[in-house]
Structure 1
Amino acid sequence: MYVFPGQGSQRKGMGKDLFEKYPDLVAQADRLLGYSLRELCVDDPDRVLNRTEYTQPALYAVSALQYLDHIDSGGAPPAVVAGHSLGEYSALFAAGAFDFAAGLDLVRRRGELMSRAPKGAMAAVVNLDQERVADLLTALPHHTIDIANINSRRQCILSGVYDEVHAPEVRAAFVEAGGSFIPLNVSAAFHSRCMTDVQEEFAHHLAGVDFHELRIPVIANRTARPYPTTGYADLLVQQISSPVKWYESISWLMARGHDDFREIGPGNVLTKLTAKIREEPLTIAEPARPAPPTPRRTPRRPEIVFMYGGQGTQYHRMGRELYDTHPAFREAMDRCSALYEAAQGTSLVAAIHDSTRRGQDFDDILHTHAALYSVGWSLTEALRAEGFHPDAVLGHSLGEYVAATVAGAMSFEDGFDLVMKQAHLLKLRCRPGGMLSVLAPPALHQRRRDLFAGLALAGVNFGGDTRGNFVVSGESDRITEARAALDREGVVSVRLPVRHGFHSALLDDIRHECRSLGRAVTVSGPRVPVYSCAYAAELDAGALDRWDDYAWDVIRGRVRFDELMAASFRDPERHYFVDLSASGSFVNFLKHGYGPGHRGTFAINQFGNNTASMEKLREGLREVTGGAAPEGGASERLGGRLAGVP
């Protein structure tokens, strides 16, 4: 795998040993450029090497000659090539897109056009990830600064109008967020909207160029995926104003087994970037191939639905007995804890199993958000190890993220990253709040506004004329007052162990940031149906396309479990529910709200004896499946492995 550097790698003296080896090509370059290539690169007497119109042809020529020298000296041809910005032309030369002189003419014209662009500026932002950089840009009062390069997880390059990039408040925003802000020595805003006019002029120039069929795969800056072998001129045009997705490009190659990266050209900038990317590669999720339509019919056996719970179901030492006795569960929890520790510096498993906190509320959002996600996912892994897989998944509040991960709509890493970052936003930006579970018909909320003034209806789990269960959410003091009033009227209510008012206006301060977290997720078509309590329906293509909306709606919208059950699970004989919440809440909902026809079993609950409850769950699944993994279900579609699990 050969990679070619872009502007910034040029230096006086580059190519000194190459020019004598390829005198014919150097003579071609001198005639085309109208000056001595060797003199420019080796001596730079007029000190113009760092000017764009000179840098681009010089750097292309030296990289191309070094590539020829490597091959002529017996070096193996590359399996795939990639170039950073200008370096993409060197990569295309190596792949046979054009000969040396044609490529030099392209970059000469490109450099001339860029040198005439309006005055712009660029700056490196280090130690902040792309999502955080994007959020900070959105919050600034400037609107012509773009992310031009995404070089690694914690290195982006900004590009835009000179006065905006150099505005004091821009630097201050990134420094205050914990990043470094480093202005770059350039005169134009490369790879930004400021290059639109240059892009249009360059497109006219390319119209007369005859590009050859590529002999080697070339990874495009714009898409982070291979060029088509023919008809690819538009990618070179669009590259001028589009961001360079280097982080994703190298991560994509690594995910496909490419591990030996050789930098061809002056310097070692890309070699250093590769080392950083290797430490923290971007998780790459490929789009799922569309599944063939499945006829709607009653299955020969009940459909197995895995169900995942959210905030309020957690408690200290949840799953501890299973952690001590079930290797697959323990391995999955340890994997979650390792990710958590890498990001937060503390052990998630230790926080969950803290014996000194037994009996106390487990309500620190920095622990509980990740803990609930981890327990749901690890219980799934435990069942997978025993051959049991879902035909469908259902999530309740935070549990929707687990369900989406299990179904393959997003990767395990993306899901875990989402809940960790969301927890930090909640902790830092949201006012304290609380939630109250009320054991009464939901109509009480409408009928008695005096009891619930200032509190949002956060969700309805089941309801009828004489019984039901709903949850209200809001400021902590109002939760306390409502509970006391309900007690006086003989209505049972339980305060949930949460410090935040989920599904209420108390979360609105982080709406933008939460949507940004959703946009950062790579979404694929789920391999099994995903039933959403936020939408009271199965997730469709529209929800997948608007994952930023969905990520927000999961914690802000009302939990409509009752509506979902009525719409999607009307025939109890067709479904068998597997409760993978930490508390066994779903089994209680089914028992008290939907009747004995809705069959289901929980994996664990707060009363312990996890081993016995897991054995009962196994028995129920064996009965449903006839002692085998679900026929034609997820075990077949996922190849015996849950989506999102490498």
Structure 2
Amino acid sequence: MYVFPGQGSQRKGMGKELFEKSPDLVARADRLLGYSLRDLCVDDPDRVLNRTEYTQPALYAVSALQYLDHIDSGGAPPAVVAGHSLGEYSALFAAGAFDFVTGLDLVRRRGELMSRAPKGAMAAVVNLDHERVAEILAALPYSGIDIANINSRQQCILSGTYDEVHAPDVREAYIAAGARFVPLNVSAAFHSRCMTEVQGEFARHLSGVEFRPLRIPVIANCTARPYPTTGYSDLLVRQISSPVRWYESLSRLLARGHDDFREIGPGDVLTKLTAKIREEPLAVEEAPASEGAAAPQAPPAPAAPRRPLRRPEVVFMYGGQGTQYYSMGQELYDTHPAFRDAMDRGSALYEAAQGTSLVAAMHDNTRRGQDFDDILHTHAALYNIGWSLTEALRAEGFHPDAVLGHSLGEYVAATVAGAMSFEDGLDLVMKQAHLLDLRCRSGGMLSVLASPSLYQRRRDLFAGLALAGVNFTGDATGNFVVSGEAERVTEARAALDREGVIAVRLPVRHGFHSDLVDDIRQECLSLGRAVAVNSPTLPVYTCAYGGELDGATLTGWDDYAWDVIRGRVRFDELMATAFRDPARHYFVDLSASGSFANFLKHGYGPDYRGAYAINQFGNNAASMERLCEGLEEITGRASALA
């Protein structure tokens, strides 16, 4: 396990013995930077080494050169790598994400943007449990301070606006709790909401960079989980304003049996941190596992114990934004008492909060055929219909062995599994919808019927658009979704049409899974923290993380609730890691449009068995009956419809 340090580890004289060993790389670095890398690191004649725009390329270069020297000298390649903040770029270089100069250009641009960020401040809080640090912060009368780093159980870094971080009552609150409060010598609020504008600019820079598949697992700062092998640039964007979850990252690796840590780069900051984490690791509920280059890209430990089944596992699947339409579920509402009762329950809660009937909005037949895209209705409607279809099947005697969520559908899956209550889940999506409506720029999403490699190969077609999700991939075809500003979505669709590529605009007014939702990040985190979270009673498969929810996710529900709408939807990765043997599973599509049934049919083949409950083409009573017949065959239980 190799770890790479971040900003703060730089020192005059670093790398002195390395520059002569790689003269070609150093010369290329000098041409890119416009100054002598060796002079900066070894002599620092202009005393600029501690300025962010110089620190970042210098640290990256020294760490990368030291890694190359170690490997060239016969050192064993690492089984897994991780980097602290800026060090993540050195880790990605070691894993083959890009060549030396490309990485240097990335950190050069990152450093330039961060150096121009609005004035901010950071402070270390030491000798206080990280849970207590968060409690004190929540009680303070300030909204501009975030926890930027959780480095160990008793070391956190606060980051935010200058005036708030340096407010006397902030320091006094932590000192009164028994902590040391140490202001840091920085000029900006790294890894906080203050970096949102920088994050957006950096995302535009990254849109022109082609990243290579990773050869070695890399642990991401913002998720404390492995990067996916491909399609991971969004994690570098998020890292700029997201907290560095180092304590969790190292604790997970220790739990998985990685006990040999080597720090690559100047200093020994991470070596000392590792010693502290060894003494008091975070309980992450991970079983030891090997994590080689082909390791799964998702947390392996389920949140709920598995019970062996003599029949296929029945997986209920829930869809998100883009699957909705006017009159969805109306036929079942008119004919199925349990479905109607569940829908009415949600509608009553919605009306108490919003003053209008949710069912009336959904079943407005005067709008049939129009886009159902008012977020104030659709967010709650999709949550309610997924829950109500589940209640209908429960009334027929059918229950899931596991649940799977796709984007907004993750909230439904978590509710069905008992991780949060129906009331809390509905309240979360209603409040989230209001934030989206009031605070976020309008946008759009485009579903593209082509191999996801097209997104990487043809950046001209997708400039300015984020890769929001991948549903399936293949040599001949695939399906992926892009997201961004409405004008760019329109332009991309027209360009794809000219190329003969089928692309369908989804009925949404917001750019989910892109930086267009970043303006509400902090509020969404607060909504997640307000939810009372329980251990789920059955496994929850998540497309946000490409695996199963684990115990650490339950304690970080704020991050998870945000990642559901901001992170990439990794349905393809989830299928590849969790559902490799189709004979072991039976998939029940409880999306409004039968989307999952289409994914399975076109992307995964006939061995993946399942059926949908409803779709937009009618005859929903008949499709529900067919679904129940399939479940009867699988489970051996007779339906109440029989």
Query: TM (normalized to structure 2)?
Result: 0.54
Q: Distance in 1 between matches of 2:144 and 2:559?
A: 22
Deviations 1:245-301 (A, max 9, x none): xxxxxxxxxxxxxxxxxxxxxxxxxxxxxxxxxxxxxxxxxxxxx999547x5x311
Tell whether the 8 Å contact from 2:468 to 2:513 is kept in structure 1 after alignment: yes
Query: Kindly tell me: are residues 134 and 372 of structure 1, through their superposed partners in 2, closer, same or farther at Cα, counting changes over 3 Å?
Result: farther
Residue 143 of structure 2 corresponds to residue 139 of structure 1: yes
Partner of 1:254: none
* Residues 56-88 of structure 1 deviation map (CA, whole Å, 9 limit, x = unaligned): xxxxxxxxxxxxxxxxxxxxxxxxxxxxxxxxx
Please state whether the residue corresponding to 1:548 is helix, strand or coil: helix
1:306-325 correspondence runs (5 A): 306-325=316-335
**Matching residue of 2:351:** 341
What pairs up with 1:204-215 in 2 under 5 angstroms? none
Q: What amino acid does structure 1 have at the position aligned with 2:525?
A: R
TM-superposed CA distance for 1:499, in Å, is 0.2
Partner residue of 2:569 out of 552, 559, 564: 559
Alignment of 1:83-162 (within 5 A): 137-139=141-143
Distance 1:627 1:140 in 2: 55
1:328 equivalent to 2:326? Answer: no
Equivalent residue letter for 2:344: D
1:520 aligns with 2:524: no
Pick from 569, 572, 584 the counterpart of residue 574 of structure 1.
Answer: 584
- The aligned runs of 1:495-534 (5 Å cut-off) are 495-534=505-544
Indicate the percent of aligned positions where both proteins have the same amino acid.
Answer: 78
Structure 1's 619 and 311: CA in aligned 2 closer, same or farther, altered over 3 A? Answer: same
1:361, 1:134 → 2: CA distance? 40
Q: Aligned AA for 2:555?
A: D
2:434 pairs with 1:411:
no
Secondary structure, aligned partner of 2:470: strand
C-alpha distance after superposition, 1:512-565 (max 9, x if no partner)? 110110000111110000000000000001111110100000000000000000
1:619 aligns with 2:623: no
In the TM superposition, residue 627 of structure 1 has moved relative to its aligned partner by 2.5
What is the TM-score with the length of structure 1 in the denominator? 0.54
**Aligned partners of 2:305 and 2:539 also within 8 Å:** no
CA deviations on 1:552-600 (whole Å, 9 max, x unpaired) are 0000000000000000000001000000000000000000000000001
Post-superposition CA distance 1:87-115 (Å, at most 9, x none): xxxxxxxxxxxxxxxxxxxxxxxxxxxxx
Contact kept, 8 Å, 1:582 with 1:606, in 2: the verdict is yes
Q: Who is 1:543 aligned against?
A: 553
Q: Distance in 2 between matches of 1:142 and 1:307?
A: 35
Q: How does 1:567-606 map to 2 (within 5 A)?
A: 567-606=577-616
Give the number of equivalent residue pairs: 363
CA contact (8 A) 1:135 1:516 kept: no
Q: 1:379 to 1:135 in 2, by over 3 A?
A: farther
Q: Which ranges in structure 2 are unaligned for 5 or more consecutive residues?
A: 1-134, 148-163, 180-301
Offset of residue 137 of structure 1: 4.2
* Kept in 2: contact 1:314–1:362 (CA 8 A): yes
Match of 1:388 in 2: 398
TM-superposed deviation, 1:139: 2.6
Aligned match of 1:356: 366
State the partner residue of 2:225: none
Instruction: Please report the RMSD computed on the Cα atoms of aligned residues, expressed in angstroms.
Output: 2.8
Q: 1:197 to 1:555 in 2, by over 3 A?
A: closer
Q: 1:422 aligns with which of 407, 416, 432?
A: 432
Structure 1's unaligned 5+ residue stretches are 1-130, 144-163, 168-188, 201-289, 630-646
Letter in 2 for 1:613: S
Q: 1:580 touches 1:604 (CA, 8 Å); kept in 2?
A: yes
Q: Do the aligned residues in 1 keep the contact of 2:376 with 2:430 (CA within 8 Å)? A: yes
Partner of 1:373: 383
- For the residue of structure 2 that corresponds to 1:346, the secondary structure is coil
Q: Name the residue aligned to 1:172.
A: none
Preserved CA contact (<8 Å) 2:343 2:359:
yes
Q: Please state how far the C-alpha of 1:626 moved relative to its aligned partner.
A: 1.2
Query: How much does 1:198 deviate?
Result: 11
Tell me the CA shift for residue 628 of structure 1.
Answer: 4.8
Aligned partners of 2:303 and 2:550 also within 8 Å:
no
**Residues 503 and 197 (structure 1 numbering): CA distance in 2 closer, same or farther, change over 3 Å?**
closer
Question: What is the CA distance between 1:138 and its match in structure 2?
Answer: 3.7
Q: 1:572 to 1:516 in 2, by over 3 A?
A: same
Seen in structure 2, the aligned counterparts of structure 1 residues 447 and 136 have a Cα distance that, compared at 3 Å, is farther
* CA shift in 2, pair 1:571/1:458, >3 Å: same
Between the aligned partners of 2:303 and 2:553, the Cα distance in structure 1 is 17
Distance in 2 between residues matched to 1:468 and 1:293, nearest whole Å: 34
Distance 1:524 1:442 in 2: 36
Match of 2:472, SS state, is strand
Contact 2:306 2:538 in 1 (8 A): no
Q: Deviations over 1:579-624 (max 9, x none)?
A: 0000000000000000000001000000011100000001000010
Give the 3 Å change call, closer, same or farther, for CA 294–304 of structure 1 in structure 2: closer
Of the three residues 471, 480, 491, the one matched with 2:481 is 471
1:285-324 maps to which residues of 2 (within 5 A)? 293-294=305-306, 299-324=309-334
CA contact (8 A) 2:315 2:586 kept: yes
* CA 420–134 in structure 1, closer or farther in 2 if over 3 Å, else same: farther
2: CA distance between counterparts of 1:569 and 1:458? 22
Distance 1:431 1:368 in 2: 17
1:292-338 deviation line (CA, Å, top 9, x unaligned): 9547x5x3111000000000000000000000000000000001000
Task: Give per-residue Cα distances to partners, 1:425-453, cap 9 Å, x unaligned.
Answer: 00000000000000001111011000000
2:306/2:539 contact within 8 Å kept: no
Deviation (angstroms), 1:386: 1.0
What amino acid does structure 1 have at the position aligned with 2:336? H
Q: Any idea what SS the aligned residue of 1:139 has?
A: coil
Partner of 1:562, secondary structure, is helix
Alignment partner, residue 492 of structure 1: 502
Amino acid at match of 2:539: P
Q: Which residue of 1 aligns with 2:124?
A: none
Change (3 A) 1:196 1:494: same
Choose which of 419, 430, 443 in structure 2 pairs with 1:433: 443
| Letter of the structure 2 residue corresponding to residue 387 of structure 1 | G
- For the Cα contact (< 8 Å) 2:303–2:539, is it kept in 1? no
Letter in 2 for 1:544: L
CA distance in 1 between partners of 2:174 and 2:488 (Å): 54
Q: Aligned residue for 2:459?
A: 449
Structure 2: which amino acid aligns with 1:483? R
Higher radius of gyration, 1 or 2? 1
Please tell me whether the aligned partners of residues 135 and 513 of structure 1 are also in contact (alpha carbons under 8 angstroms).
no
Between the aligned partners of 2:490 and 2:608, the Cα distance in structure 1 is 34
Cα distance in 1 for residues equivalent to 2:479 and 2:177: 62
Q: In structure 2, what is the Cα distance between the partners aligned to 1:379 and 1:135?
A: 40
Q: Any idea what SS the aligned residue of 2:544 has? A: coil
Q: 1:411 to 1:486 in 2, by over 3 A?
A: same
SS at match of 1:450: helix
Q: Partner residue of 1:96?
A: none
How far apart are the structure 2 equivalents of 1:444 and 1:604? 32
TM-superposed CA distance for 1:196, in Å, is 8.4
Aligned partner letter, 1:406: V
